[in-house]
């Protein structure tokens, strides 16, 4: 196909409605775009286990970007070259130590689909366990339990300590890690290896499909989408996106509750049946 596009979809606040569903209009539009030869991928901060259900719902057969780019893999093609970029365990342990000093609510470490958790917390488990098939959490002292380089660290600080923690991470670990704050209501600080973001995954997948940068359409709503929206030839911020993302984007579409993705793709790609 001559004018084939690569379409990258963030999940929360973008493809998904506030009820964590894909609206039927957006789903049908995505199907139509694929029917016409365009390539659709998911690029999310979520781990594989929390995004695979939506991957199958859209009938995708493409690589996927998880953990904001720390894991780039192909769920249905085991021969595809997996890129896993965890942070050094030594750095992770230093950050865990600093978090102890700040007396944070909780700390989680993820190694691919395995979750290690400092303190037992029913609410956090509900948030992270998407299905009964998920591997059980390992609960207890993280400095002791963590034996491998983690894909990501998630820290739940007290609200008054968020700035202090982020300043500490920037001052002592900026050469090795990236840190971001999740949108409300979570107040979670997510930490991954330095230089890792969704644009890294997008670049690799676009190269794999031989699609030029100007033919990449990317949708997002939060600060973990900034690099991806900036990198894509056609960066689209949702109507509900943070202001910073809207400033970087080439276009602003309707919100995730108003079929923003479906409306934009239909118009921009001039999908025939619509």
What pLDDT score was predicted for residue 216?
98
Average pLDDT in the 245-253 region?
A: 98
pLDDT tens profile 90-110: 999 999 999 999 899 999 999
pLDDT tens profile 42-69: 999 999 999 999 999 999 999 999 999 9
pLDDT tens profile 20-32: 999 999 999 999 9
pLDDT tens profile 181-232: 876 667 889 999 999 999 999 999 999 999 999 999 999 999 899 999 999 9
CA distance linking residue 34 with residue 32, whole number of Å: 5
Catalytic site residue from 10, 12, 225, 259: 10
What would the two tokens of residue 172 be?
């002592």
pLDDT tens profile 65-95: 999 999 999 999 989 989 999 999 999 999 9
Contact (Cβ atoms closer than 8 angstroms) between residue 89 and residue 149: yes
Contact (Cβ atoms closer than 8 angstroms) between residue 238 and residue 260: yes
Max Cα-Cα span within the chain? 59
Q: Does residue 274 surpass a pLDDT of 60?
A: no
What pLDDT score was predicted for residue 162?
87
Active site residue 225: no
What pLDDT score was predicted for residue 130?
62
pTM of the model: 0.91
pLDDT band at 141 (very low <50, low <70, confident <90, very high): very high
Average pLDDT, the chain: 92
Average pLDDT in the 235-261 region?
A: 97
Q: How do the residues of the chain divide into helix, strand and coil, expressed in percent and rounded to 5? A: 40, 20, 40
Q: Which contiguous run of DSSP H or E holds residue 235?
A: strand 234-237
Q: Does residue 127 surpass a pLDDT of 80?
A: no
Q: Which residue in 18, 136, 113, 104 sits closest to 67, CA to CA? A: 113
- Looking only at the bridges linking them, the beta strands covering 6-9 and 216-220 are parallel
What pLDDT score was predicted for residue 181?
83
User: Which domains, from first to last, does the chain contain?
Assistant: 6-84+196-269 (3.40.50.1000), 89-193 (3.30.1240.10)
Q: Does residue 133 surpass a pLDDT of 70?
A: no
Q: What is the DSSP string of 141-153?
A: -HHHH--S--SEE
DSSP 8-state code for residue 107: E
Angle between helices 260-269 and 24-35 (to 10 degrees): 30
DSSP 8-state code for residue 46: S
What pLDDT score was predicted for residue 273?
60
Average pLDDT in the 5-32 region?
A: 97
């Amino acid at each position: 196909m001559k004018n084939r596009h690569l379409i990258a979809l963030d999940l929360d606040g973008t493809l998904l409605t506030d009820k964590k569903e894909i609206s039927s209009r957006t789903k049908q539009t995505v199907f139509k775009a694929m029917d016409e030869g365009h390539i659709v991928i998911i690029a999310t901060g979520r781990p594989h286990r929390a995004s695979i259900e939506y991957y199958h719902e859209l009938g995708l057969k493409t690589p996927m970007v998880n953990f904001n780019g720390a894991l780039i893999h192909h769920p249905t093609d085991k021969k595809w070259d997996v890129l896993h970029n965890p942070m050094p365990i030594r750095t992770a342990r230093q950050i865990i130590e600093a978090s102890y000093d700040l007396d944070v609510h909780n700390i989680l470490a993820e190694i691919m689909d395995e979750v290690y958790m400092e303190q037992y917390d029913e609410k956090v488990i509900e948030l992270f366990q998407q299905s009964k098939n998920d591997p059980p959490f390992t609960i207890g002292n993280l400095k002791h339990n963590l034996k491998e380089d983690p894909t990501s660290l998630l820290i739940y600080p007290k609200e008054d300590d968020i700035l202090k923690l982020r300043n500490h991470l920037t001052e002592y670990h900026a050469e090795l890690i990236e840190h971001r704050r999740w949108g409300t209501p979570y107040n979670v600080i997510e930490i991954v290896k330095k230089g890792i973001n969704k644009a890294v995954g997008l670049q690799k997948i676009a190269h794999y499909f031989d699609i030029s940068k100007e033919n990449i359409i990317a949708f997002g709503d939060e600060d973990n989408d900034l690099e991806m929206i900036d990198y894509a030839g056609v960066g689209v911020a949702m109507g509900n996106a943070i202001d910073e993302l809207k400033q970087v984007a080439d276009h602003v579409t309707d919100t995730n509750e108003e079929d923003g993705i479906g409306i934009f793709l239909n118009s921009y790609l001039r999908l025939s049946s619509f």
